Amino acid sequence: MTSPRKAAATRKSRPPGQGRKPAISRQDVVDAALKLLGPHRSVATLSLREVARAANIAPNSFYRQFKSIDDLAVALIEQAGESLRDIIWKARSRITEGESVIRTSVETFLQQLQSDQHYLHLLLREGAVGSAAFKHAVERQLEFFEKELQIDLVRLATASKTPIHSAELVSRAITRLVFSMATSAVELPATLHPKLIDDTTEMINMIMVGTQTLAKKK
């Protein structure tokens, strides 16, 4: 029988990270799950035990933060959308005079395909092949993108005294176009991405010219 003193010494000598964490936050579980996902892995393939092992917690501790793996998957999608919107907003805020807001936004969006966080991969994949609940969660994130873009379009139109026709429809068209572009980019070699960025930027410019023309006719 092991004495209490010997047991204590064994615990002290155990390498860091081997013991399970006594307490863990919801974000800790999300971060652990994100590390398991790759460009071609769906959240539907994650298992509770796998996530618990990555988070260094007992499987039962998972339920203190999430009701199920599906509940975790929705949280992952929500974080992916929020983080991606924040990344794009920061890129826009760093734009200097002479730079294109449209081109910078498209470039930043596409750069996320090569990032380690896999936020864009997660949204694209689950929006296309995820369950009904996952697709709904992705759709909600797209709607957030559209609403924020609509606010930007109205603000820029007011500042430049340029008319805009149906900012809501314009923001939806641009958002869906950019996400479609990203879906195409996944299947293309990186050498073709600059051409895709050029084409997408030009298409968005055409949308903007169209909405301004329609507004002037009203």
Span 153-176, pLDDT tens digits: 998 889 889 999 999 999 999 999
pLDDT attached to residue 2 = 47
Domain presence at residue 29: no
| C-alpha pair distances (Å), 75 with each of 6, 16, 201 | 43, 29, 31
Mean pLDDT per 10-residue section of the chain, whose length is 218 residues: 47 46 80 85 89 92 92 94 92 75 90 85 89 93 94 89 93 95 90 94 95 89
Residues 143 and 33: their CA atoms lie apart, in Å, by 25
Domain presence at residue 44: no
Domain presence at residue 49: no
Domain presence at residue 57: no
Q: What is the CATH classification number for the domain harbouring 95?
A: 1.10.357.10
pLDDT attached to residue 97 = 61
Q: Which domain holds residue 163?
A: 77-217
Structural domain count of the chain: 1
- pTM of this prediction? 0.81
Tokens 């010494």, residue located: 9
